[in-house]
Amino acid sequence: MLHNNLLHADTFLVAKGYLLTKKDNANKNRSYSLTMQGGTHSSINVRSDGKRLFIEIETNEVDQYNMIRESIAQYLNKDAMVADVQTYTVKDLGSIYITINDTIPYDPLKKDYDIQIIPDKHITAYN
């Protein structure tokens, strides 16, 4: 998605079952949501800033978090680690920041995952 424009993101996410919940063409922002079985959810916010797309994924679905984490595990940036944030640097993509928080109300079996994908300054969206 980082290599495409907002219209391509719409097509991709809607095909995956996400619903467009907010579309702001003036500020080039889009929000999508998906409710899954078991009361879990996923929200994706996409923002276009010039020719770069910034993506934020908020989810409490552990399988979605595990899939993303396992696919980028080899790119862990230990020099940029902060106590609460896992940082990954992927060549030709950018930086990925993952924050894990307890759910409200507290449930020891569930966590909230916030995944931010910041493109490298050389990665631009195609139009």
Contact predicate 26/47, CB 8 Å: no
Q: What pLDDT digit, counting tens, does each position of 21-44 carry?
A: 998 888 889 999 999 888 889 999
**Mean pLDDT within 103-113:** 84
The end-to-end CA distance of the chain, in Å, is 12
SS3 9: helix
pLDDT at 54 exceeding the cut of 60: yes
Q: What is the mean pLDDT of the chain?
A: 84
pLDDT at 116 exceeding the cut of 90: yes
Q: What pLDDT digit, counting tens, does each position of 87-100 carry?
A: 898 887 888 999 99
Q: Please state the pTM of the whole predicted model.
A: 0.83
Tokens of 72: 């980028």
**Mean pLDDT within 57-82:** 87
14 pLDDT tier (thresholds 50, 70, 90)? confident
- Residues 117 and 109: their CA atoms lie apart, in Å, by 26
pLDDT at 7 exceeding the cut of 80: no
User: What backbone torsions phi and psi does residue 25 show, to the nearest 5 degrees?
Assistant: -70, -30
Q: 105: cis peptide before it, omega within 30°?
A: yes
